[in-house]
Structure 1
Amino acid sequence: MLNDLIEKRKKVLAESEQHKDRRNELNALASKNARERNALNAQTREFVEEAQQHKEQRDQINEEVQALKDQRNEYNDKANVLFEEIEAFKREHGNLRNRGIKELQKQIEHLEFKQQTEVYSTDKERELIEKIKHLKASVKDQEAELEQNKEMRTKLAEAREHRRQASEIHKGVTEKAEVAQQHHDLMVESYRKADKSREEADAAHQRFVEAQEAADEEHKQFIACQKELRDYDKVISGLRKKTRKTRVTKEQKAVRKEAERIFEQFRGGEKLTTDDLLLLQRAKLI
């Protein structure tokens, strides 16, 4: 029975070591996943901060763009008022067959914008250029006619200056709007990266939780094995004590029996050796 218990204890001890090793492996894996999660969370925060910086820059530039647009519109409004006065002067003087300078100028701007932003065949583009050239010539002719009148010449110069200033400001609007769009695109990209790293951090956290829970389960199994080993140790220790006590009792009986035999021989007149005397003393017969 004792040998069976010892063998069972060996198996439990081996199982305990397996649970301990597996627990340590899982704890190391959990720590690795925790480090990855923390690094990804830190990266996410960096991307979000970058996105916020780009958003702030975009918003600030958009405010500047709006301010420039207000200035541009103000100059255009002033120019429109003067061109309306010029058109009114032309109508009063019977020049109704010609389109107004304001209308011609708008048409020129529209065609120039199309030329810059759309793709045309060589023939179509040449045709468009000729049309713009013709319209500009019409504007020049009408302006030349108007410049013969001193008052209209002054208004026309003012209107041109307002248009020029509006055009210069519009260039600034376009440039700043492009920069604002760049910051907007960078903001969107930073938020996209933040979302990606946040998803990876969540996945790493899930792996951390799973590894930690598995490690906790292995630890519970290890503790259970340790308790079972202590129980085996108590039983084995008790059996060993009992076995030793039984063995001592048997030895004592054997010594007593041998001592009684020697004592009877002594009483019969036989001489005792030193070992015989020691044995009799051990058996407490002398």
Structure 2
Amino acid sequence: MDEKVEVKQQLEQLKKEIHLLSVSLKQLSEQKESKYKEKDGLNQDLNNYIKTAKELRDKKKEIDTKIRDLKGKRQVFNKGLSEMWGKFREIKANVVPKDKSKGSPSLIQKQIEKIEFTIQTEALSFEREKKMMRQLKELKAQLGEMKLEDAKFKELRDFKDDVKEKKVEADDIHIEIQKLATESTDIFKKLTEKSELIAKAKETREKINVDLQGLKAQISEIDVRLEKFLQQWGALTSLPVFTEQEMIPAVQKKAEAAMEKLKSKGKLTKEDILAMQGQNMKRR
């Protein structure tokens, strides 16, 4: 077979191989770019998840601190209430139930005033005055006892009111603790959801990294093969079996196209660079 024909056949086969590899390289590069975009978006989501999770943890920590402080305050209130209820029972035990048959203090006071008026305005016999003085003394003693018992009842009522007031405060603290505990639980649920999203995002990112490593390996392998074929192309086109005019479509055209791409600040491919190198080799 004529050497020129054989070289042309080899070049044609190399051309097909180079084209197929170039197509594969372009597809892999697009896949790699797509994976990087997916990774960038995932990293942005992951940063947002982590930021939100930190805010939730800080908020939960703040609420849990409030709950702990309120529980301590409630414990002090409950201890105080227990002591107050004990004192209340002591006061109640010393209060004698009122004897309604003795009448009310106001009624006793009226009787005293009536007797005093009688003694002062009427001419009484010695015996009757003595009797009324005795009654007056007894009524005043009875009134004094009633006033003392009333004071005890008032003390009991006032103390009971204080106990109720303290209990209301303790109940308010308990309600606040329950409210904060519910809020803390809700935050914990949200934090758990964010933690799951973070774990899932990291897992997906790891898979993307594995995919990128695979794509880079494939691209590197194709680069090596493409460079080998292009070097073979350059070597064949450098053979003296071709005239300069015959080589223009095969080498110079590719080199000129690559140069135009470079001038227009386009991105050169491996094939473009090797074509330019092949043209330089031909000139030498």
TM category, shorter: 0.5 to 0.7
Aligned mate of 2:45, from 29, 37, 52: 29
Deviation at residue 152 of structure 1 after TM alignment: 5.8
Aligned mate of 1:165, from 155, 166, 170: 155
- Give the stretch that moved more between structures: 239-248 or 34-43: 239-248
Secondary structure, counterpart of 2:95 in structure 1: helix
Aligned to 1:54: 70
Aligned mate of 2:224, from 204, 210, 234: 234
- Residues 202-246 of structure 1, C-alpha deviations (whole Å, 9 max, x = no match): 111111112221122112111111111000000011111122222
Secondary structure, counterpart of 2:104 in structure 1: helix
Aligned to 2:185: 195
Query: Against the structure 1 CA distance between its residues 142 and 212, is the aligned structure 2 distance closer, same or farther, given a 3 Å change threshold?
Result: same
For residues 219 and 254 of structure 1, what CA distance do their matches in structure 2 show? 48
State the AA in 1 paired with 2:93: D
Aligned to 1:140: 104
Deviation at residue 159 of structure 1 after TM alignment: 3.1
State the AA in 1 paired with 2:28: V
Mapped contact 2:95–2:149 kept (Cα < 8 A): yes
- Which structure 2 residues correspond to residues 70-149 of structure 1 after superposition, within 5 A? 70-80=86-96, 83=97, 101=98, 140=104, 144=108, 148=138
Deviation at residue 175 of structure 1 after TM alignment: 1.0
Q: Percent identity?
A: 10
Deviation at residue 170 of structure 1 after TM alignment: 1.1
Mapped contact 1:37–1:204 kept (Cα < 8 A): yes
Deviation at residue 190 of structure 1 after TM alignment: 0.5
Aligned mate of 1:246, from 224, 233, 236: 236
Deviation at residue 167 of structure 1 after TM alignment: 1.4
For residues 141 and 15 of structure 1, what CA distance do their matches in structure 2 show? 102
For residues 228 and 151 of structure 1, what CA distance do their matches in structure 2 show? 114
Aligned to 1:213: 203
Aligned mate of 2:214, from 203, 224, 227: 224
State the AA in 2 paired with 1:64: G
Aligned to 1:63: 79
For residues 244 and 254 of structure 1, what CA distance do their matches in structure 2 show? 12
Deviation at residue 22 of structure 1 after TM alignment: 0.3
For residues 171 and 52 of structure 1, what CA distance do their matches in structure 2 show? 29
1:10 aligns with 2:7: no
Mapped contact 2:105–2:146 kept (Cα < 8 A): no
State the AA in 1 paired with 2:155: Q
TM-score, length basis structure 2: 0.63
Aligned to 2:194: 204
For residues 172 and 70 of structure 1, what CA distance do their matches in structure 2 show? 13
Deviation at residue 156 of structure 1 after TM alignment: 4.2
For residues 59 and 213 of structure 2, what CA distance do their matches in structure 1 show? 39
Aligned to 2:263: none
RMSD between aligned residues:
2.8
For residues 56 and 139 of structure 1, what CA distance do their matches in structure 2 show? 50
- Residues 111-134 of structure 1, C-alpha deviations (whole Å, 9 max, x = no match): xxxxxxxxxxxxxxxxxxxxxxxx
Give the paired residue count: 201
Mapped contact 2:60–2:188 kept (Cα < 8 A): yes
Aligned to 2:246: none
Query: Against the structure 1 CA distance between its residues 143 and 170, is the aligned structure 2 distance closer, same or farther, given a 3 Å change threshold?
Result: farther
Q: Structure 2: 5+ residue runs without aligned partners?
A: 1-16, 112-134, 244-284
